[in-house]
Structure 1
Amino acid sequence: MRSQTKDASIVRCSKCGRKNRLPRAASGIPQCGDCHQPLAWVTEAWDEDFSEVVEAARIPVVVDFWAPWCGPCRMVSPALEQVAADLAGRMKLVKVNVDEAPRLSERFAVQAIPTLVVIDQGRVVTRRSGAAPAPALREWVDDALAA
């Protein structure tokens, strides 16, 4: 379970069930306040806070450029959230709505959505466009994290 505000997400720990508040930008790796297991870190970013939320992250970030009106984007989103849960503590998933962040869309030359970009320590590691099934997305992210 996840709910989102402009400042933080509320994430239920998959191990013990405790609800945890996760800031959109923070140093380190989020852990459950009770059992200390890594938490799936899924959040959003906009033009004005992308640097703080994504580029300053200490773990690799998968950026999902999407739009609410895009059918393939809506199909990919649950698969990406599952990958983030499976790789909790190893990656962060940040969703960028292209309609609300036009400067980021331009900066990353997003011409089709969904477009996924892996950023590690402020640099682009890899990118892909288009929908893919969950196993293909997991393999792509695993390869990017290994690079």
Structure 2
Amino acid sequence: MSSSQSLHLVCPKCAATNRIPAERLNQSPVCGKCQSSLLTAAPVVLTGQTAHKTIQKNEVLTIVDFWASWCQPCHMMAPQFEQAAKQLPNVVFAKLQTDKFEQAAAPHGIRSLPTMVVFKGGQEIARQSGALPSNQIVQWVQSLA
């Protein structure tokens, strides 16, 4: 990665798209609009309004956990997903509740829950269905970086 390269990051709080020099990703970048941290080391809760923009505009690895309120394995995996987010602070971890935001989830063809999909710059690069422990989530994501 060249030192002059910039990456787009969508603010998890206000959904503004920010351009960040790649070499500053490790320096806790903040949103130019609302001053919130852009990389939170915690899962971002997506809504119908923010899901598309977050998936399409983020140019860092973005892992979306597609889950539903009625899905027991989803609830079992939630703390594992949170733990993995803490271990990979330069990766965006996000959660999309499919039974609440069906239209936001529909374009991704989710057939089973939970399903994690990895995006970069709007492109799906991998997916994994089923609940995983945090160490396996971290290993899987690192293998894609």
TM-score above 0.5: yes
Identity across the alignment (%): 25
C-alpha contact 1:114 1:129 (8 A) present in aligned 2: yes
Could you say what secondary structure the match of 1:75 adopts?
A: helix
Matched residue, 1:123: 123
**What letter is aligned with 1:124?**
E
**How much has 1:41 moved relative to structure 2?**
4.5
Cα distance, 1:32–1:125 mapped onto 2, change above 3 Å: closer
C-alpha contact 2:68 2:98 (8 A) present in aligned 1: yes
Could you say what secondary structure the match of 2:110 adopts?
A: coil
**How much has 1:52 moved relative to structure 2?**
1.8
Matched residue, 2:83: 82
Could you say what secondary structure the match of 1:143 adopts?
A: helix
**What letter is aligned with 2:28?**
Q
C-alpha contact 1:115 1:128 (8 A) present in aligned 2: yes
1:68 aligns with 2:69: yes
Higher helix share: 2
Aligned residues between the structures: 122
Unaligned runs of 5+ in 1: 1-7, 10-21
1:103 aligns with 2:100: no
Could you say what secondary structure the match of 1:95 adopts?
A: strand
Matched residue, 1:55: 56
**How much has 1:25 moved relative to structure 2?**
4.9
**How much has 1:66 moved relative to structure 2?**
0.5
With structure 1 as the length reference, what TM-score do the two structures score?
Answer: 0.71
Moved over 3 A (4+): 22-26
RMSD: 2.5
Cα distance, 1:31–1:55 mapped onto 2, change above 3 Å: same
Matched residue, 2:4: none
**How much has 1:23 moved relative to structure 2?**
4.3
With structure 2 as the length reference, what TM-score do the two structures score?
Answer: 0.72
Q: Distance in 2 between matches of 1:95 and 1:26?
A: 19
